[in-house]
Structure 1
Amino acid sequence: MNPPSDRFVKGMATRRAVLGDAHVDRAEANKTDFDAPFQAMITETAWGDVWSRPDWNKRERSMVTIALLAALGHHEELAMHVRATANTGATPEDMREAMLHVAIYAGVPAANTAIKIVKKTLDEMRDAQAPRGGE
């Protein structure tokens, strides 16, 4: 087995910074021989190349990613990247503006569905942060 490339190491650090250790640890634990090459490719290219570039910050990349996922109807990935905003600094207001762009450039039905997913995911994030009674 070869040592990981510099691009993979950088990608894993960026992936953890954006998605969080818990998410990445779960994904790594669920990795199989079948999807390991895909996971390595995504870590190197998406996270090690694109997300690690210096010209945009994580907030800007987060908003563009959310808009693209919404426009393309990739709902599971959309929810994952909404959760990642806790680490990227993209705000609910940023996501609202992104959804308006989706409505104009990708269509109202795509934005309508995405808005429902964003709202549900933000509610789940708030509920997870809410103090529990009696603790």
Structure 2
Amino acid sequence: MGEALLPRHAASHDRGRAPALFSRIAGFVASRTSARRGPPQRKPARAGAPVGTGPARAHGLSFVHEEENVLRSQTFDKGLKNRREVLGAEYVDNAIAAADDFSRPLQELVTEYCWGAVWDRPGLDRKTRSIINLAMLTALNRPHELKLHIKGALNNGLSKAEISEVLLQTAIYCGVPAAVDSFRSAREVFAQLEPVKT
């Protein structure tokens, strides 16, 4: 009945397009799947096949994939180095070791893109990036991450007085309750890091 509501030529046109559309969708899905599994294995080119097909092209695609994997590996290694230096090697190593199949992709993403692709950029020094993080995490009300990055800020050279100034300014732009919680979190971190008095 739906076809009867359309002009005859339009219905015929849509029937012709449907297989092509499904074919394109199937091709896209197949390409995404093969990308996850690595470069596809191609058959040898037939005699008279167009230039750019066959084993030579397959080798070229394989080389591109290898280059991408090398670059990603380098970025991950940089990220792991930065992450361990800022947050502490013990914390980072434990977080990665504790990752399972469910959480491992997140650990990989954070290490590669957050700490490798962004924290490794030359535009800002680590101290400035820590200041930004303290302000953002206060605004987002993420006390667990804030405590972690307060430790990171100390490792990156911020003093307690400077951290206090950062959090004081968040009271103006993020709200006093948010700043109160952040000051409380900071004091807890300072207490943990100070040597126990006997």
TM above 0.5, yes or no, is yes
Deviations 1:104-130 (A, max 9, x none): 111111001111111111111113xx5
Deviations 1:79-115 (A, max 9, x none): 1111223321111112111112211111111001111
2:108 corresponding residue in structure 1: 40
Measure how far apart 1:16 and its partner are: 0.9
Map residues 103-118 of structure 1 onto 2, 5 A cutoff. Answer: 103-118=171-186
Query: Matched residue of 2:123: which SS?
Result: coil
Is residue 2:74 matched to residue 1:6? yes
AA of the residue aligned to 2:112: E
Among candidates 123, 131, 135, match of residue 67 of structure 1: 135
> Are the aligned partners of 1:65 and 1:81 in contact in 2 as well (CA < 8 Å)?
yes
1:97 corresponding residue in structure 2: 165
AA of the residue aligned to 2:168: L
Tell me the distance in 2 between the aligned counterparts of 1:41 and 1:83: 22
Deviations 1:62-91 (A, max 9, x none): 111111111110000001111223321111
Tell me the distance in 1 between the aligned counterparts of 2:94 and 2:167: 29
Query: Matched residue of 2:194: which SS?
Result: helix
> Are the aligned partners of 1:60 and 1:90 in contact in 2 as well (CA < 8 Å)?
no
Tell me the distance in 2 between the aligned counterparts of 1:98 and 1:51: 20
Map residues 76-87 of structure 1 onto 2, 5 A cutoff. Answer: 76-87=144-155
Is residue 2:190 matched to residue 1:122? yes
The 4+ residue runs of structure 1 with deviation greater than 2 A are 1-4
Tell me the distance in 1 between the aligned counterparts of 2:130 and 2:94: 21
How many residue pairs match? The answer is 130
Tell me the distance in 1 between the aligned counterparts of 2:181 and 2:120: 29
Higher RCO, 1 vs 2 (CA within 8 Å, ≥6 residues apart): 1
Give the TM-score taking structure 1 as reference length.
0.88
Tell me the distance in 1 between the aligned counterparts of 2:170 and 2:97: 34
Task: Flag structure 1 segments of 5+ consecutive residues without an equivalent.
Answer: none
Tell me the distance in 2 between the aligned counterparts of 1:70 and 1:98: 10
Task: Flag structure 2 segments of 5+ consecutive residues without an equivalent.
Answer: 1-36, 38-68
Give the TM-score taking structure 2 as reference length.
0.61
Indicate the percent of aligned positions where both proteins have the same amino acid: 36
Deviations 1:1-32 (A, max 9, x none): 97762111111111011111111111111111
Larger radius of gyration: 2
AA of the residue aligned to 1:73: N
